[in-house]
Homo-oligomer: A and B are copies of this chain.
Amino acid sequence: MNRQAPTLEDVAREAGVSRATVSRVVNGVRNVDPDIQELVRHAIERTGCTPNRAARSLVTRRAETVALIVSGAGDAFAARVFVDPFFGRVVSGALGYLRARAMHPVLLFAESQAARKQVVDYVRQGSADGVLVVSILADDPLPEMLLSARIPTVLFARPGRMAPISCVDLDHYAGGELTGAHLLARGCRHITAISAPSELQAGQDRLTGFRDALARAGRRPPPVVEGTFTLDSGAAAMTTLLRDHPRVDGVFAANDLMAQGACQVLRELGKRVPEDVAVVGFDDSSVAVPAHARPSAGAAPALRAAGQACACRWPRMMSAYRCPLDLIVRVWVG
């Protein structure tokens, strides 16, 4: 019942060697006689020893662990992070990377200033070697805090202020350009937009890219109604746009949910989508694209880079990847 877990010392006794030798075998250090290696391995097998992690961590000063921080939301919203078309892929890619290296992700939530401090402390205790931050806040203070605590960090999203932090993010501007090009290519003449809440930088970037694409084609700035990223706000915005611009034949919505709302309103009013009015969203979410067509591993290269950064190696690089469905991911390594 109260039997302690076998230690390397037990194995050493069993094998008739020293603790140091057992440690060498366990850690794959060379300079160990193959016969003795075999001996030790058997002894480990027999005793069922699993080297204590805390003891190892204490001396190596590595936890073999990274903190996966969901910043700006409590655990009730953890789901979002895993379902979000961008975060979901990025997170599961990162998890796969960690797993291949026997590193473990600890889930932390940083929705308040106190929680943010706790997160920093957690790492400073040596509980994690670095952090991955998934942030949904426009101007999150956490990245700066991690930076000044000299904690190896990779941010999924871009920091509000310019900071020397590695990050992975969608290229919102380029995505916006694509949507503009798409509507132009379809031959739309009366193009409008449903924008994101104005305080979200990402939303602004999408809109700017969209506008620029139209401008380069010689079009005048499109009418824009601001939405709140919800289905209902998309429907409301579409209603407004139709009232003010009855001839509209192309709509850019800053996310898929609003695009969906817009489609509903259009169809209710007897418009065919996309024959009468073309609607393009943003997010590559499941409402927009048939499942079999989605690029499930699209963000892999970006993640590999991010993963490397997490592993506390910091290669100098900057690159962009383009996925099958034009999901554009950029990686900055600071």
Contacts and interface: CB of A to CB of B under 8 A. Distances in A.
B5 A126 contact: yes
A221 B250 CA distance: 54
A105 B104 contact: no
B50 A124 contact: yes
B121 A50 contact: yes
A51 B82 contact: no
A51 B125 CA distance: 6
A4 to B, nearest CB: 9
Interface string A118-131: 00011011110000
A107 interface: yes
A65 interface: yes
Interface string A48-72: 0011111101100001010010000
Contacts of A127: 53, 104
A78 B68 CA distance: 14
A313 to B, nearest CB: 17
Interface stretch (A11-19, A91-99, A175-183, A200-208): A91-99
Nearest to A51: B125
A54 B108 contact: no
A92 B104 contact: no
Nearest to A1: B150
For chain A, which range describes its interface: under 10, 10 to 19, 20 to 34, or 35 or more residues? 35 or more
A76 B99 CA distance: 12
B126 A54 contact: yes
A125 B65 CA distance: 14
B79 A88 contact: yes
Contact of A82 (B5, B57, B79, B108): B79
A45 interface: no
Contacts of A156: none
Contact of A107 (B58, B107, B124): B107
Contact of A125 (B53, B76, B81, B92): B53
Contacts of A96: 74-76
Nearest to A123: B50
A75 B99 contact: yes
A296 interface: yes
A20 interface: no
A51 B124 CA distance: 9
A107 B51 CA distance: 21
A109 interface: yes
Nearest to A124: B50
Given A79-B92, A104-B106, A52 B5 contact: no
A217 interface: no
- The 7 tightest CB contacts between A and B, nearest first, are A54-B57, A75-B95, A79-B82, A53-B125, A54-B58, A50-B124, A54-B54
10 contacts: A50-B125, A53-B54, A54-B63, A65-B106, A74-B96, A76-B96, A79-B92, A95-B107, A104-B122, A105-B107
